[in-house]
Structure 1
Amino acid sequence: MRRDTRSADESSDSEDSEAEDSQPSSPRRYLTRVGAERMHKELLRLLNEERPKVTAEVSAAAAQGDRSENAEYIYGKKRLREIDRRLRFLQKRLDTATIVSPTEQSDPERIYFGATVTLEDEEGSLATYQIVGSDEIDASGGRISIESPLARALLRKRVGDSVEVVRPRGEVEYTVVRIRYL
């Protein structure tokens, strides 16, 4: 797992300049520390619990004889391939990601990667979002991707600033009410 000691604002600024210079095939991936820990936990669970359990089930099914008509064996092998695919994916993501700690933000007055932002829409409704990496998104949990239109519009804004965002239902204007780095 690569760790980056840069602050999130330095990361965002350098990401913009590096994005222009880099090839589109190797985008820079950022994760919050919490997101990286969540992915690491999943990797360990798959590796230490799920995979050994499914391997034992496949071995037991294989001992029953004819494998071509053994549904338990066929399903178990398929499940092992899915687990191995997910393990490779998680390992690659964790190895290549830059971990950014939102609490180490050097400019907490502006919105950067990892910020938790409270917004007010035109009708006065409040919504809170945390800007995270694409591997961490959870719309129901209020975590939106740094690559989303809303997050892009919010970058570098301050409390009191307004942004207009185009959504499928039409354009909406938000005002930044609060910025926190948790």
Structure 2
Amino acid sequence: MSRGFVKEDDQEEAPFIPPRAALPAGEINYVTPNGYQKLLNERDSIENKLSHLDIEDEKEKRHQRAILTGSLNLLNERIVSSRILQLEEQAQDEVRFGATVTFKLEGKPAQKFQLVGVDEADIKQNKIAFVAPISRGLTGKKVGDSTIVFIGGKNQQIEILDISYS
């Protein structure tokens, strides 16, 4: 097709839509009740932004609308695929999804993390995704158990000191 009658200004780049947190193929999208509520709140926020786009430039407005719509579509897919696990239904004496685990890496002080869904993982809040290598290594263990986990480029021994579901 001839491009003789196409104005260069009409050519818009496809917007970059940031991907959601990685969930390995075939993995169930487990979420805590708190994590599910955060997803719903995020959806409300995006829908609110979409309905209140206050941008004069039509090209920029279309661009922002495409980004928000794409983000909303990805978020809705994640919400639909979510499986909420109630913390009180987990085996309280072993590490499972939702557990807050206190553990000690050899030669380091004790650390405390909660095993959560991929969308709610945030290392700054001591929340790690259940698909992370350290989470997989801790899952099924009990207080006093030790295990070897490959993290930081090497095998490291971890001792489980405490497990809670609060």
Pairwise TM-score range, normalised by the shorter structure:
0.7 to 0.9
Matched, 1:34 2:42: no
* Deviation, structure 1 residue 35: 0.4
1:138 to 1:154, Cα distance in 2 relative to 1, 3 A: same
Matched residues in 2 for 1:171 and 1:135: separation?
27
State the partner residue of 2:58: 73
Matched, 1:102 2:81: no
In the superposition, the TM-score normalised over structure 1's length comes to 0.73
State the partner residue of 1:9: none
Q: Give the gaps of 5 or more residues in structure 1.
A: 1-23, 62-71
* Deviation, structure 1 residue 109: 0.4
Matched residues in 1 for 2:64 and 2:96: separation?
39
Structure with the higher fraction of residues in helix conformation: 1
Question: Residues 104-143 of structure 1: matches in 2 within 5 Å?
Answer: 104-105=89-90, 107-143=91-127
* Deviation, structure 1 residue 90: 1.4
Superposed CA offset, 1:10-40 (max 9, x none): xxxxxxxxxxxxxx85432111110000010
Match of 1:91 among 76, 84, 93: 76
Matched residues in 2 for 1:169 and 1:96: separation?
32
Number of residue-to-residue matches in the alignment: 143
- 3-state SS, counterpart of residue 166 of structure 1: strand
Superposed CA offset, 1:48-100 (max 9, x none): x211221xx24xx2xxxxxxxxxx32222111111111111111111121101
- 3-state SS, counterpart of residue 62 of structure 2: helix
* Deviation, structure 1 residue 169: 4.1
Matched residues in 1 for 2:61 and 2:164: separation?
46
Instruction: Output the aligned Cα RMSD.
Output: 1.6
- Percent sequence identity is 25
Matched residues in 2 for 1:34 and 1:25: separation?
24
Q: Give the gaps of 5 or more residues in structure 2.
A: 1-23
